[in-house]
Structure 1
């Protein structure tokens, strides 16, 4: 995280005394989830992956809503595999929040402490304190149907935190919000997570949510972890096509010899790094320059003949999907696209400077 920083150690698997130490094995028909997760108190871990990868199954297993087929689940050294959901020190914020429609915001938040044995007065006092932290004191008597999406999200977060959980689970917590609200609530959620002293696990399909909110990313595909690390590391060193697409990079694999990478399925690529052996090579779509004629006198050492397979608006840019010698994505302005007369099937020459590529060991 940037801004409000937290310093936490990331222990090796199997060594966590405080925090989360889990290997989640769940078999459901032909699908098998096998994901190891460790996190120290204060860590925010984001589970990322395509639909059907197993992210939500992992979250539900942590909550006790899906039984483990194998593995283990320890929280602060306590075995939780056989502990029923309601007895676990776990708070959950569901994608649709699942607030009780007949209860006020105050009583929604007070529900958790009441279930943990607090008196009605104690539970309401704790709930009032949490609503104050969420800047919702003026909405204490309001029922969910009269709350905005952002307010409902904060009530759900307050309800989850009011039991003082040792593990906070957030299932797509911003997915139900519109774009404008999402921006504000993401910043608020980041502030609350920065002050959370236990472990938080976030499931999201949105890379921006993950990059902004999490200290560490765990990328899951087909039920298994394919990469984990800090947001900065994963953004710089994607290891699968899914991750490369997620962070907006063209990604290839090949064999490096000095400053040249011979791709497994494609032409050689000149790189700024000098390496030997199996490598990945990546570059952003913005690094690609397109020409209608083969460029002469260009300083770019990488030149490929391609065809336009598709064009789409991508923010304030046009993204060209190219096939040919090297399939890739290229970003250019609408003016540049018009000047090049880009259209489906058009032949173009794509150039990338070696200094704009990034090669790293596979």
Structure 2
């Protein structure tokens, strides 16, 4: 999908002009071209999700005014920002590395924005103290950034961005600099703060869990284009590209449906419970795949393929087996099951999937 019509992104054009974000971001950078449409209502949290080099950060920098548009438009609450310099935009930015001023205290870091907008020093510091208290940092007002933990620094950066009362909040990989343990805690806190934010928030991430937890709507970008967008649950259930399928942990195929049979573009047929006709996707989780050393006799599974193990890796508390052969796929099984099957790279196996565990939907 290369273009978004006026109603598919959650707002009509008229609604977007009345309030919220209405943008088509076209940026040419050498051979790379970004062309992404974004619309969001006040209170929406939108996540831009995609692989490295997809154009996510370029889109965020274009919204902030740090990268000029080659074409398209950018409107916020009905006002055009196309020619507005970055410092004059009602936009708050939380950068991946937070970029706190190392020589300023947490209090003065947050007060910096209001001061730049003409607020007196005393009033700006009072506003900053209130924001830090809301972030649970009332005991750290005087702390310099080097004295703060990663989670604390992240909350100071969010407070600094919100202290100017922006109408658009931009977050560039806001949890990437945190260790796994801190990330879990801060993700919950950030979700609460975003839920209270009354304007538009746009989040850039490559982490599907961050996107699923923090955002109301996902916009998936690949090669500078929007390939899918919608509610997190809808995208997780109906991925439309291999990248999205890998993110949400599904085997994904495309083919021609005739009744309950889908003949794949490259490979065998898959039997499904859905009765469809025409171009479709078929998806099923790796956990739905059962592996056998010998061809199973009397199996109730309608889908049976001969494969070969090409790779094994730990995946959570299970083993993920990558398989090639009649149908390339991924299978999850317990460590015990992998040992009993004697799985090693190169081992031949039979893979089965019940039709009831597949999901087919129009392409």
TM-score range, shorter chain: over 0.9
Name the CA distance, whole Å, in 2 between partners of 1:332 and 1:272.
Answer: 24
Map of 1:99 onto structure 2:
100
| Superposed displacement of residue 14, structure 1 | 6.1
SS in 1 for 2:75: strand
Aligned to 1:110: 111
TM-score by length of 2: 0.97
Match of residue 174 from structure 2: 173
Distance (whole Å) between structure 1 residues aligned to residue 111 and residue 267 of structure 2: 60
Structure 1 residue 13 displacement after superposition? 4.4
Report what 2:303 is aligned to. Answer: 302
- In the alignment, what sits opposite 1:42? 43
Equivalent pair of 1:312/1:318 in contact (CA under 8 Å): yes
User: Counterparts of 2:132 and 2:312 in 1: how far apart (Å)?
Assistant: 47
Which residues of 2 match residues 1-362 of structure 1 at below 5 A?
A: 10-13=10-13, 15-16=15-16, 17-362=18-363
> 1:312 offset after TM fit, Å?
0.3
Deviation at 1:355, TM superposition (A): 0.3
Alpha-carbon distance change, 75 to 119 in structure 1, aligned in 2, over 3 angstroms:
same
User: Equivalent residue for 1:3?
Assistant: none
TM-superposed CA distance for 1:198, in Å, is 0.2
Runs of 4+ in 1 over 3 A off after TM superposition: none
Distance across 1 between alignment mates of 2:180 and 2:79:
40
Give the superposition deviation at 1:299.
1.1
SS at match of 1:42: coil
SS of 1:184's partner is helix
In structure 2, distance between residues paired with 1:199 and 1:300:
48
Determine the C-alpha separation between the residues in 2 that align with 1:107 and 1:253. 55
Deviations 1:220-268 (A, max 9, x none): 0000000000000000010000000010000000000011000000100
2:4 aligned residue = none
CA distance in 1, matches of 2:56, 2:10: 21
Q: Within 1, Cα distance between the matches of 2:133 and 2:332?
A: 46
Cα RMSD, aligned residues only: 0.8
- C-alpha deviations, 1:165-207, integer Å up to 9, x for none? 0000000000000000000000000000001000000000000
Cα offset, 1:12, TM superposition: 2.6
- How many residue pairs match? The answer is 354
Alpha carbons of structure 1 residues 13 and 298: separation in structure 2 relative to 1, 3 Å: farther
Unaligned residue ranges in structure 1 (runs of 5+):
1-8
- Give CA-to-partner distance per residue, 1:99-139, whole Å, 9 cap, x none: 00000000000000001110000100000000000000100
Normalising by structure 1, we get a TM-score of 0.97
Question: For residues 65 and 46 of structure 2, what CA distance do their matches in structure 1 show?
Answer: 18
Question: Structure 2: 5+ residue runs without aligned partners?
Answer: 1-8
Distance across 2 between alignment mates of 1:178 and 1:219: 25
Cα offsets for 1:62-91 (capped at 9, x unmatched): 000000000000000000010000000000
